[in-house]
Amino acid sequence: MINIGVIGCGQWGPNHIRNFSSMEEVRVLMCADLNRDRLKAMKQQFRTIHPTNRFQEILNHPRIQAVVVATPTATHFNLVKAALMANKDVLCEKPLCLDERQAKELIRLAQKKKRILMVGHVFLYNAGIQKLKELIQKKSFGRIYYLHSERTNLGPFRQDVNAVWDLAAHDVSIFNYLLNAEPIEVSARGGIYLQKKIEDVAFISLVYPKNILVSIHVSWLDPRKVRQITVVGDKHMLMWDDLDQTGPVKIYDRQVVQKYYYETFGEFQLLAKEGTITIPKVNLSEPLKAQANAFIAAVRKRKSPLSDGRSGLSVVRILKAVQKSLAKRGVPVRLQ
61 in contact with ligand NAD (CB under 6 A):
no
Amino acid at 59: L
**Window 64 to 83, contacts with ligand NAD (CB under 6 A):** 70-73, 75
Using rule CB under 6 A, residue 89 touches ligand NAD: no
**CB-nearer residue toward ligand NAD: 97 or 136:** 97
Residues 248, 228 contacting (CB under 8 angstroms): no
* Chosen residue from 2, 5, 6, 8 binding ligand NAD by CB under 6 A: 8
155 sits near ligand NAD (criterion: CB under 6 A): no
Residues contacting ligand NAD: total by CB under 6 A = 23
Instruction: Find the helix or strand (DSSP H, E) in which 233 lies.
Output: strand 221-233
> How many other CB atoms sit within 10 Å of the CB of residue 130?
19
**Cα-Cα-Cα-Cα dihedral of 333, 198, 15, 3, to 10°?**
70
Regarding 38 and contact with ligand NAD (CB under 6 A), the answer is yes
Using the minimum distance from each CB to ligand NAD, give the nearer residue, 162 or 187. 162
12: contact with ligand NAD by CB under 6 A: yes
**Residue 220: CB atoms within 10 Å:** 21
CA angle, corner 72, sides to 69 and 75, nearest 5? 70
Stretch that binds ligand NAD, among 32-40, 103-111, 191-199, 256-264 (CB under 6 A): 32-40
- Read off φ and ψ for residue 141, nearest 5 degrees: -70, -30
Residue 120 touches ligand NAD, criterion: CB under 6 A: yes
Q: Is 94 in the site for ligand NAD (CB under 6 A)?
A: yes
Q: Is residue 11 near ligand NAD by the rule CB under 6 A?
A: yes
Question: Could you count the other beta carbons within 10 Å of the beta carbon of residue 47?
Answer: 7
Query: With binding defined as CB under 6 A, does residue 311 bind ligand NAD?
Result: no
Write down the least CB distance from residue 162 to ligand NAD, Å. Answer: 12
- Taking contact as CB under 6 A, which single stretch among the options 8-16, 125-133, 222-230, 327-335 is the one that binds ligand NAD? 8-16
- Within 8 A by CB and 6+ apart from 18, the residues are 46
Decide: helix, strand or coil at residue 274.
Answer: coil
β-pairing verdict for 249-252 and 212-219: unpaired
The window from 7-15, 127-135, 207-215, 277-285 that contacts ligand NAD (CB under 6 A) reads 7-15
Sign of the C-alpha dihedral, residues 162, 92, 288, 314?
A: positive
* Residue 16 interacts with ligand NAD (CB under 6 A): yes or no: no
**Min CB(267)–ligand NAD separation in Å:** 51
Is 222 among the residues that bind ligand NAD (CB under 6 A)? no
Query: Comparing C-alpha atoms, which of 256, 245, 246, 184 is closest to residue 214?
Result: 184
Pick the piece of the chain touching ligand NAD (CB under 6 A) from 4-12, 131-139, 191-199, 316-324: 4-12
Residue 93 binds ligand NAD (CB under 6 A) = yes
Cα separation, 298 vs 292, in Å, equals 10
Q: What radius of gyration do the chain's Cα atoms show? A: 22
Q: Which is nearer to ligand NAD, 70 or 135 (CB)?
A: 70
The CA-based diameter of the chain, rounded to the nearest angstrom, is: 82
Residues near ligand NAD (CB under 6 A): 7-13, 32-35, 38, 55, 70-73, 75, 93-94, 120, 122, 166
